[in-house]
Each structure stands twice: as structure tokens, then as C-alpha cells.
Chains A and B, each alone.
Chain A
Amino acid sequence: MSTAAHNASGAERLRANDPEHEAPVGGGLRKVGGVAGWVDDRTGAAKGVGYLMKKVFPDHWSFMLGEVAMYSMIICLVTGAFLTFWFVPSAGQVVYDGSYLPLKGVTMSEAYRSTLDISFDIRGGLIIRQIHHWAALLFIVAINVHMMRVFFTGAFRKPRELNWVLGAQLSMLALVEGFAGYSLPDDLLSGTGLRAAEGFMRSVPVVGSYLSYFVFNGPFPGESIIPRLYAVHVLLLPAILVGLFTAHIVLVAVQKHTQYPGPGRTNDNVVGFPVMPVYAAKAGGFFFIVFGVVALMSALVTINPIWAYGPYDPSPVTAGSQPDWYMGFADGALRLLPGFLEFTAFGFTFSFNVMIGAILLIPIMYGLITLYPFLEEWVTGDKREHHLLDRPRNNPTRTGIGMAGIASYCVLMFAAGNDIMAIKLHLSINDITNMLRLLFFVAPPVVFWVTKRICLSLQRRDRDLVLHGRETGRIVRTAEGRFYEQHEPLDPYTRWHLVQHEQHRPLELESGVDENGVAAPNARSQRLRAKLSRFYFNDRVEPVTPAELEAAHHDGHHVEAIEHQEPGGAPLVEVGSAPAGENPDTTEQRPGH
């Protein structure tokens, strides 16, 4: 580019009548450098990349959770590519003759032998394998936690419903990808997992045994499942994951990142740091941090010691046969489901004791997760774009629903570790199982209720803080001999955090009949909607308005005294609904916090 501008004087004369704007492009790029210029000459990328480099990202630790997932995925892709150089995806039987003595001379599959070789005979192989596996576990942990962050802050609301759906699919596929990888080494533990998976397939009505024979290419275990899972694990699912993930990220860039509410942060702006230079350094650096931490874990902590389990053989089994943690909830469901769910009718077997946990649970769970944004949008009737996040306490019902969901997930996940809990806590495995069966039904509603109450209390505390300010810890005695604690009003910036949000109100039930007295066709769904809306927003705490604050300031502490009549009079306020400690002018002395 720059050389062309220097020497082609003849050509320049020919271009004399060209539009003006071409010249500054050349001049500007000279400063950026030859290579960028060369690329831009051929792609015109400068404008787009320049725009991207100026893009602003808000700063918050919880926004990094998604990045942890992204980076662990990249680590998995890199280390996974390395592992393919040595791993042999074959169930062919060989006799081990490597350097791990306790297995010398044992017959095993090539897949297992090559995994042993990676662990013991290939220099640095073990560290790569451990990084791959730890990063995979971290990947799914990070996806889950990222998903929780998005859920509890309402980041899935319009216009991001689509990205939520993409994310939910990514999350579900990550489970399958993980399970496929876990099964590849063909050790006793993963083989037992495949054995159970074969049992799962059989439980599908009508086609179960066909499904099993098709997937395993004949009777279990067969020699096909390892190469097939390998293709799924290294090719099919990674391609889909990377594709969906790209779409996920592009949508984040197009829609711009959400931000937490705060002074100066509105629904119409993004406040944060530009990619160049701050986020390039922070996010780029964070990749190295994630990789570094995973490497450190892999150096110091064993993961999946396949050599300890031995080769797969359908006859032996090991105590503590569990899948990796992310499949724990499905495995736990299988442990909790009672046997009576299996029955025969019309000469056919219905194995609901297996099918509910193994086949239906994951699609149902992810289906509900996927649909949630649309449900909430319908209930609130809120079609506006939301770029400011909710503080979880400001939507107590949503937060409660989320926590209830997490509670049921946790019950199932803990159930998968019931045998480990039994030996480590010296409990009876039967008691643990029965207790978890009960908890599966009891815990979600209790957690919902407790969470919602905590959220409402926190909102009241926010109101209290705005109205009465911070407790200073200074006790003042009035001329009449009464004591009160001085409160310091909040500065407007701090206050804004607590008053900026809008509170939804329950929708009014629209009249079920139109003006002609004909029942509206959607009357039933409208009634349901109004009911749900009441469920969501009946209990709520409104943010403080200027008028309320003014009243509080104007009347000073006397206004609050209305809550208590003259000594001896019955209090007007029910104790439960007024947070204790609102009455600075009572004689009660409270230490400052």
C-alpha cells in the first residue's frame, strides 16, 4: 500500500479524478503498519475491526463467568487436539506391556492401552490429559454458574431471549460432549457408565432394544461404541458447540453487553472499558489466568486415574461408580426413583423407573430452562428492551424460582454421591436415599419461600437505608431525656443503586367478555396470566420515591414515631412487616453496625 503510494506517480495522475476519500485511508494506514494495510487492502476490515476495538465492556466479576466457560472450552479444544495424536479409538483387545506394573500382561482394549501410554509413557502426556479433563469439568461448572448469573439478573429478557436459548442448548450439548469424552478411555468406571447407558436406551418404549443394538452395533459392549463416541466427541459435537458458541458471542457483540444498574448507567448506554487497550489486556490476560489455574490443578491434583480402575470388563465393577459431576443429577435421579414405576401392561414392559431419570429428565429440564424467558415475558407483558440488569432481590419470585430449581438439581446431584456420603459421614445409605427422596419434594418449595422472603427483607432493608440513612453509631440524648441514634443520609450515588429499579405490579384481569358480552376466546389464558402475575408480583416492596424521602427528612424522626403511639398505646405496625430497628427515637439503644 505505502509503496504503491510512493512510486506510482503515473498511476496517481490517472486517479486524479477519483473520489477524495481514498487518499486519507492510505495515509492513515501507513501509521498502523504494513501488514494491517496489506490485509485491509484486500478485506476492508479496518473499519469493522476498528469499531470492535472501541467496543465497551462493563466491568464486573460476574461477567467473567462466561469467559471462564469460553476459555476452558478453548483449553479443551487445544489439549484435545493434542490427545488425538496418541489416543487410539479402538476396542480391539491387546496385552499391555507398558511401564505401569500393576497392569502388565493384562488384556485390555487399545483405547485403554493408549490412555495408559499417554499417562505413563508419553512425556508430558499426563499433564495434558489432566488439563483436558479438569478444563472439561471447569467448562461445565462455569457454564452452569454463568447461566445462574444470567438468570438471577434477568439478563435473558428481551432482546436476549434468543441468546438464552442458544446458551441452554450449548449447556445441554456440553453434558453430552463431556459424557462422550468420559467414556472413551474404556476403563472400568467409564465402561460401567456405558453399561448403564445401554440400560437407559433399553428403557425407551417400543424401540428401546433397537436403539441399543443400533448404537452399540449389536450386543453390548461390542467394538463399535468407542470409535463412534470418538467421532462424536472430537468432531460432531465440537463442531456444533463451536458453531453455537460463535453465534452466542456474535449476539453478545451485536446486542452489546448488559450492565448492572448504577449512577450514569442507563438502559441506553454501556459504561465500561474499551477493548483496546483495557479489555484486550484484561480478557486476554484472563485466558492465561484460567489456563494457568487449570494447569496448576492438573499438576497437583489427580483427575480420573484410569490406571486405578483397570480395563473395562462387564463382570467386575467398582464401588463408587459415578459419572462425572455434571451427569450426577441424572444418575442421582436414577438412584431416587422407586422401582414400582416399572410395570408390564399388554405384554410390554414400561420402565419408567429408568426412563424418567435417564431419558426424560435432561430434555425436560433444559426445555423448562429454555422456555422460562418467554413465560416471564408473557406474565409481565413487558415487551421493552432490557439492558440494565435486575438486582436479584428486586425480583423475589424469579429469584425464588431459580433457587428452587437449583435446590431440586442439588438434591439429585447429591443423590448421586449417596454412597460416598454414607462412608464419609458414617450414615446409612438407605436413610440418605430416603431423606433425599423426601427432600426432592420438600426442598424446592421451602427454598422458594425462604428465598422470596429473604429478597423482600433485603428490599425493605434497602428502603430503610434510603429513608433513614446509615446508622452512625452516635447516640444523642435529647433535651427531654430521650435517646436516639443519629443516622447519616445516603449520598445520591449510593442511593441511586437502591431506588433506580421499577417494580412490576400484578396485571389486572381483563374482562373476560368483549363489549358485546361474548366471551373472549382467550379468557382462560388471560385468567391464568393474571393469576401468575399475582403470584409473581403480589408481594412486593416499592422503591422509595422522592416524596417519601422528603417526608422522612421533613418530619425528621418524628414522622417515624407514628408507628408507635404514645407509650402504652397499642403499636400500629405489625411487628413482622416492619423491620426492627426503624425507630431511632425509641429509648431502645442499639449498637451501630
Chain B
Amino acid sequence: MNEHGTEHGGQVQPGTEGYGSSAVRLDQGHVQGTGGLPERFEDPGFPPHIHRAADLDEAAAKRAEKQVAALFGLSILGTLVFIVAYFAIPMDASAYIPGIGDANLSNVVLGVSLAFGLLGIGVGAVHWAKTLMPDEEVVEERHPLRSSDEARSGFVKTMMTGGTEAQLARRPLIKYSLGGALGLFALPVVLQVVGSLGPLPKDGLSKTMWKKGDRLVRDPEHTPIRATDVTIGSVFHVLPESIKDSTHVLEDKAKAAVLLMRLEPEAIKVAKERDWGHEGIVAYSKICTHVGCPVGLYEQQTHHLLCPCHQSTFDVTQDCKVIFGPAKRPLPQLKITVDAEGYLVADAPFREAVGPSFWERG
């Protein structure tokens, strides 16, 4: 849809031969200042009022009255049903509701009766207003919002006089010391809140409870895992054994959760990954390096790990490198080995901070 030149200029474009030069283009040209006619249309004022059925016909008005009363009656009925249902329907009763299936009967009946109690009033009142209350529109004049010039200058004068009477300008010492005091008084309040909100992080974000020799145990049963239990294609959700003695289980779990997988050793493409694992069994932090959701979705055929929150995808065959999504860093690997009894144990703590990035992580 291309623009036509005349549209911008508002020029009258004379027609070509046959129709005289006084003819104008009407589809686009904006005709201005044609003598005798007003520049713009004038407001025709209110259109004639059209009466409603209820204004003209008493029978229609009566009908409306009955409808409104019926709606209010429905509301009363709804409220009564609510009261009865509240006492009569046991909390655990369930009923088949078409379109929903088995639902909690108490919830459905209480909600529906409450809705009728409310809608009856609402619809009734609006219907009343629409059919029986006056429907001649009323005009209210607007007045400029700004105060009169006198009022404005009066205000300015009051403020200026007040300032002068307080000798604000004459006594700069007071002015500046007051400014300083007002500027500073909020600090103690802010300091108290901010300073006492929580402890300093120190190395809390960089350390997990994994240490050398810690057995890998199943989440949530806390039972140790033998290397032979982990068949190819398996995935185990793992915690350190010391979680049993933790006093802050959730906080420790939030950092120490680990995913244990077994791949064909030859599928692993990175030597370090193979070295840090045990016969194709590898352990990676389950905490996403994006914003910290647990990355648990392991596809055993493609060896991809997917985070359900923002779809960062990690390739387990490539040391959990990010192959899709918003995360940047690979998931940290936990170096594991087996102890004398054949159980999987951590061979070292995590070498880097797990979870989302932070400024001083480096």
C-alpha cells in the first residue's frame, strides 16, 4: 500500500480534462479553506433520545421488575444453599460432575452457590439500572484543572513568606545543617535492615559438602550404591552420605545434589570425563549453571541432559558441555571411584562452584 503524494500536502489536485479544473480529488486530497463553508464539521449535539420498552410500556416495566426480583431471589437461594451445603456436605465427599470428572463435592457446591448468591445481586442490580433507572444521559461540565492565577501566586507567596519568616535564606547555617541532618537520618534505619538481613556469603556458594571418600547414596533412601548396580543406560539421583548427619539438609542438598549415569565408555568423548568417572559411570552436579534448577532430564539414547526450567541442554558425552539454551558453563563433574567394598565414593570435592554464576566466581 504505497503512499500517494497528495496525501501529505493537503493540496487540491485539479482534475484533468473533461471534468473542469474545479473538481477535486476526494479520496485523498484534503481540501482546505473552501469559501463559505466551515473549516470543520460542527458537533450536531445529542441525537434524539430513544425510549426503552420499559419507559413506554408499563407491562415491559413490570416484566423488568419481576426479572430483577427473580435475580435477587436467586441470590437469596444461592446463599441459603451455601449455608446448608457448608454443614451438610462432608469435606471428603466426591461427586462426578459432567465435564470435570470426579471433583470435591463440597468445593463445587459451595463455589457454585456462592457464585449464584453474588451473580444474582450483581446481574439484578445492573438489569435494574439498565431497564428501570433513568437512561437520559446527564451532562457534567468540566472546568480547567489548573487553579486560578491568583490562587497560584497566592500559594507561591505563602511559601515564600513562610521561608522568609523562618529566615531560611538569612541563616545558611541552619539551612545546610538541616539538609545534612535530613539527608543522613534515614541511614541508621536502612543500615539496620540491610545489615541484619543475613550473613556474608564468604565461601558458601563455592563449597559443597562433598569430600574425598564420601559415599554416593541414593536420593531419597540414602543407601549406598555399588558400581555394579549401575547398569548402562541407568541414572541415579545421588547425595553425599554425610547428608544423613547434616543439620541443614535442604541447604546442603541444594548444592550437593548429583546425577549419576552410566554410558558406554567409548561413547564418552572427553578423556577427563572418563578419568573422573569409573568404567563409564560419571557423576555431574544436578544444579543447573543457569539459575539453579535441578537438571534431571537424562535421555539415555542421545545422552543429553535437559533442564526443565529454561531448557539448557548439556551433552554428557562431551563433559556436559552446553549444546542448547541459556546456560553458559558445563555442569561441574564430581570425580568418583570405588572403595574397597565396591561402593561408589567421591574421589575429590567439586573442583569449582556448582550452580548459577555469581560475580566473584571468576
Contact = CB atoms under 8 A, between A and B. Distances in A.
In the complex, is A directly touching B at CB under 8 Å?
A: yes
A190 interface: no
Contacts of B40: 499, 543, 545-546
Given A216-B198, A282-B125, A339 B297 contact: no
28 contacts: A56-B139, A124-B110, A210-B200, A212-B201, A212-B205, A214-B198, A218-B251, A269-B139, A277-B133, A278-B134, A281-B126, A292-B114, A295-B111, A295-B114, A295-B118, A299-B110, A300-B100, A300-B112, A313-B250, A319-B308, A339-B326, A347-B362, A493-B44, A493-B47, A539-B3, A545-B39, A546-B38, A577-B3
Nearest to B35: A547
Interface in B320-350: 322, 324-329
A548 B357 contact: no
Interface in B57-114: 86, 91-92, 97, 100, 104, 106-112, 114
Interface stretch (B163-171, B180-188, B267-275, B309-317): B309-317
B294 interface: yes
Interface string A557-580: 011111101100000111011110
B41 A495 contact: yes
B190 interface: no
Given A281-B133, A292-B116, A315-B219, A559 B41 contact: no
Interface residues of A, number: 155
A112 to B, nearest CB: 12
Contacts of A287: 122
Interface in A425-477: 429-430, 433, 453, 456-457, 460, 463-464, 467
A210 B201 contact: yes
A213 B27 contact: no
Given A208-B358, A255-B145, A354-B357, A126 B107 contact: yes
Interface stretch (B18-26, B152-160, B223-231, B276-284): B18-26
Contact of B294 (A289, A300, A316): A316
Interface string B234-262: 00010100000000101101110100000
Contacts of A344: 362
A553 B185 CA distance: 75
A321 B311 CA distance: 11
Which of B220, B290, B309: most chain A CB closer than 10 A?
B309
Contacts of A2: none
Contact of A566 (B18, B123, B325, B362): B18
Closest A-B pairs by Cβ, 10 of them: A299-B111, A199-B291, A288-B122, A285-B125, A547-B34, A292-B119, A292-B118, A289-B122, A314-B254, A199-B356
Most buried by A among B104, B292, B296: B292
Interface centre among A123, A130, A131, A337 (most CB of B within 10 A): A123
Given A206-B359, A264-B43, 5 more contacts: A209-B358, A221-B251, A315-B257, A319-B297, A551-B23
A282 to B, nearest CB: 5
B123 A289 contact: yes
A221 to B, nearest CB: 5
A446 to B, nearest CB: 14
Nearest to A506: B8
A341 B310 CA distance: 15
A559 B251 contact: no
A500 B43 contact: yes
Contact of B4 (A298, A492, A574): A574
Nearest to B90: A123
A403 B247 CA distance: 53
B266 interface: no
A587 interface: no
Contacts of B43: 263-264, 266, 496, 500
A582 B27 contact: yes
Given A127-B111, A347-B362, A551 B44 contact: no
B111 A130 contact: yes
Interface string A292-308: 11011011100000000
B236 to A, nearest CB: 12
B17 to A, nearest CB: 8
B54 interface: no
Interface residues of B, number: 120
A385 interface: yes
B286 interface: yes
Interface in B1-52: 1-4, 7-8, 10, 15-16, 18-19, 23-28, 30-34, 37-41, 43-47
Interface in A312-330: 312-321
Nearest to A562: B15
Given A218-B198, A285-B125, A576-B1, A340 B328 contact: yes
A366 interface: no
Interface of B: 1-4, 7-8, 10, 15-16, 18-19, 23-28, 30-34, 37-41, 43-47, 86, 91-92, 97, 100, 104, 106-112, 114-126, 128-130, 133-135, 137-142, 144-145, 194, 197-201, 204-205, 219-220, 237, 239, 248, 250-251, 253-255, 257, 286, 290-294, 296-297, 308-313, 322, 324-329, 355-362
A137 B153 CA distance: 48
Given A339-B312, A559-B23, A219 B251 contact: yes
B140 A56 contact: yes
Contact of A195 (B145, B293, B325, B358): B293
A577 B142 contact: no
A85 interface: no
Contacts of A430: 311, 313, 324
A203 B356 contact: yes
Contacts of A538: 8
A300 B108 contact: yes
A157 interface: no
Contacts of B326: 334-339, 353-354
Nearest to A99: B92
A339 B325 contact: yes
B148 to A, nearest CB: 16
Contact of A214 (B121, B139, B194): B194
Given A292-B116, A576-B1, A264 B111 contact: no
A209 B128 CA distance: 60
Nearest to B134: A278
B315 to A, nearest CB: 13
Contact of B140 (A270, A277, A499): A270
Nearest to B362: A347
A344 B251 CA distance: 27
B198 A263 contact: no
Contact of B292 (A196, A348, A500): A196
A271 B138 contact: yes
A395 interface: no
A383 B15 CA distance: 39
Contacts of B145: 159, 254-255, 385
A387 B16 CA distance: 44
Contacts of A565: 16, 18
A202 B7 contact: no
Given A433-B311, A551-B26, A559-B24, A285 B126 contact: yes
B23 A555 contact: yes
Nearest to A159: B145
A254 B100 CA distance: 48
